[in-house]
């Protein structure tokens, strides 16, 4: 593809890399194209909490100098990336889209950010999310709602809605998101891009602000499957700073970009097609399965009965872990503190940041904690903290948290049994396409159903990918493919084969 065919900001990672290596464009020119694009559409999309054009141009200039010296640059050198704003970036605001962290600038980079910077990627900004990654629509952001580029009146999904919207709107070449219950795959589905949740432990979580530590995983959002493989090569691997990261070899995921599914066995779990699945979504997903069968794969419907318990199990385990992880936000060391003049919350009176904690108008240290957290956390975060604290409390731990962990084990066994027979499982990513902004705000059950197809993979710790497979009323439909742990190569091969024979990834929103 030549520059006369498309603008630089519309290109994929691999297209931009080829232009850079051929010296047809400079990294600075690429960065400026994306900066211009952000200036043109960001007021309507609102994907970014923080944009860093100066940093991007500085990093791009370093890449250009390297190219001029004749250095062999990697596949991500000079490529603009957006980082979900719950990953630490040294010297750049990391807010988790929460008022309680409105002013937090980390003194270190998350491991994934460090890897991308070392690979020469150009950091263009930090993206909006549901506060502390708790939500399915990005409407729970403490700052503003992100809009879906395909229809500005609809949500982009969540919690990585800003990352997915930024990729779909060509505001970055790729983005990083985090996935606790579907927070990469579901917004990828809603925004018509590719989103992968790797196996739990495949990517370091060091520097990711924790929501639910046994579920969280970082992964890429990209414009096609080839780009997904490129980013996976860069971010995977054992990290001594994260004890949960897996000490296993990292394959070259680019070698999995093979258009061949002959003799591949596909399981189609019937439980994923209930729970209010839109008939047009189901039709598109089944058509995608038929296409893969026509290319030589075999498909069979199966039952995974424990999957039906995924949603209630998740909404005990995730809030329990969240209530523990968010206990650190107390106004003492960083972030918002009640009564300080620099806070955007403008709490009146009370304690100054340089006064003893047990004195002042807030009435002591306990009151300081209470008022800080009351002012800093949004309603969804408060609700999950309270649910989690209740589930872990004396007299209820066995009835709720322990029982949920036992059912989680049953769900894992269902997946293990399925993967004894099948190479992959294919389902809808979400039961519906993107819904209207405000449509589900007052219906929390309907909101949570948006993640019903994605949550089981997090509970089982297995990898999953969402790729575009069609449209309904002009809004993208997502196809979810899951494989057994550490089998991302099979996911990439199946997704790439479908992509090469469908072309849905080439569709662009009209913004």
CB 128 within 8 A of CB 162: yes
Query: Is 84 an active-site residue?
Result: yes
Distance CA 479, CA 266 (A): 13
Catalytic position from the list 98, 136, 163, 183: 183
Looking at the chain, the number of H-run helices and the number of E-run strands are 15, 11
Query: Is 359 an active-site residue?
Result: no
Question: Looking at the chain, how many residues does it have?
Answer: 511
- The helix/strand/coil state of 172 is coil
Catalytic position from the list 136, 159, 160, 189: 159
Catalytic position from the list 33, 46, 84, 115: 84
- The helix/strand/coil state of 460 is helix
Distance CA 10, CA 25 (A): 14
Torsion 67-71-76-82 (CA) sign: negative
Residues contacting residue 252 through CB under 8 Å, at least 6 positions apart: 233
Which of 307, 277, 287 is CA-nearest to residue 412? 307
DSSP 20-78: HHTTSS-HHHHHHHHHHHHHHHHHHH--EEEE-HHHHHHHHHHHHHHHHTT----TTTT
CB 154 within 8 A of CB 435: yes
Residue 275: DSSP 8-state: T
Query: Is 97 an active-site residue?
Result: no
CB 43 within 8 A of CB 69: no
CB 67 within 8 A of CB 73: yes
Active-site residue list: 84, 159, 183
């Amino acid at each position: 593809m030549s520059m006369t065919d498309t603008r630089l900001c519309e290109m994929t990672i691999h297209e931009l890399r080829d232009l850079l290596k051929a010296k047809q464009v400079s990294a600075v020119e690429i960065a400026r194209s994306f900066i211009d694009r952000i200036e043109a559409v960001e007021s309507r999309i609102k994907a970014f909490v923080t944009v860093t054009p100066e940093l991007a141009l500085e990093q791009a200039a370093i890449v250009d100098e390297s190219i001029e010296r004749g250095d062999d640059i990697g596949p991500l050198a000079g490529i603009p990336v957006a980082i979900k704003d719950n990953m630490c970036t040294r010297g750049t605001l990391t807010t988790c889209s929460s008022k309680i962290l409105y002013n937090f600038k980390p003194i270190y980079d998350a491991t994934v950010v460090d890897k991308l910077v070392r690979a020469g990627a150009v950091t263009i900004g930090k993206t909006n999310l549901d506060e502390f990654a708790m939500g399915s629509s990005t409407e729970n952001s403490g700052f503003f709602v992100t809009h879906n580029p395909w229809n500005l009146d609809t949500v982009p999904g969540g919690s990585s809605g800003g990352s997915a919207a930024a990729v779909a709107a060509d505001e970055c070449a790729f983005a990083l998101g985090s996935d606790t219950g579907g927070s990469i795959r579901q917004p990828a589905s809603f925004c018509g891009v590719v989103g992968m949740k790797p196996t739990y432990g495949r990517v370091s979580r060091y520097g990711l602000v924790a929501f639910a530590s046994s579920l969280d995983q970082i992964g890429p959002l990209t414009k096609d499957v080839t780009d997904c493989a490129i980013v996976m090569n860069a971010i995977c691997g054992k990290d001594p700073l994260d004890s949960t990261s897996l000490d296993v070899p990292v394959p070259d995921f680019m070698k999995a970009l093979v258009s061949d599914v002959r003799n591949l066995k596909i399981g189609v779990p019937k439980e994923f097609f209930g729970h209010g699945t839109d008939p047009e979504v189901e039709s598109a997903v089944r058509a995608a399965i038929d296409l893969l069968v026509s290319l030589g794969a075999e498909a069979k419907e199966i039952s995974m009965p424990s999957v039906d318990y995924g949603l209630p199990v998740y909404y005990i385990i995730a809030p329990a872990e969240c209530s523990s992880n968010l206990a650190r936000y107390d106004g003492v060391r960083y972030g918002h503190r009640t009564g300080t003049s620099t806070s955007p919350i403008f709490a009146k009176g009370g304690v100054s940041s340089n006064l003893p904690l047990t004195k002042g108008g807030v009435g002591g240290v306990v009151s300081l904690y209470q008022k800080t957290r009351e002012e800093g956390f949004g309603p969804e975060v408060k609700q999950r903290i309270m649910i989690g604290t209740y589930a872990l409390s004396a007299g209820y731990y066995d009835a709720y948290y322990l029982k949920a962990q036992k059912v989680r084990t049953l769900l894992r066994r269902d997946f293990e049994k399925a993967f004894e027979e099948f190479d992959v499982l294919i389902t809808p990513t979400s039961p519906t396409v993107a819904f209207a902004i405000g449509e589900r705000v007052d219906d929390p059950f309907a909101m949570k159903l948006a993640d019903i197809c994605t949550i089981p993979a997090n509970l089982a710790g297995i990898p999953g990918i969402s790729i575009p497979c069609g449209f309904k009323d002009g809004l993208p439909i997502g196809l979810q493919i899951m494989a057994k742990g550490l089998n991302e190569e099979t996911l990439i091969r199946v997704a790439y084969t479908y992509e090469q024979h469908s072309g849905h990834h080439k569709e662009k929103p009209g913004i």
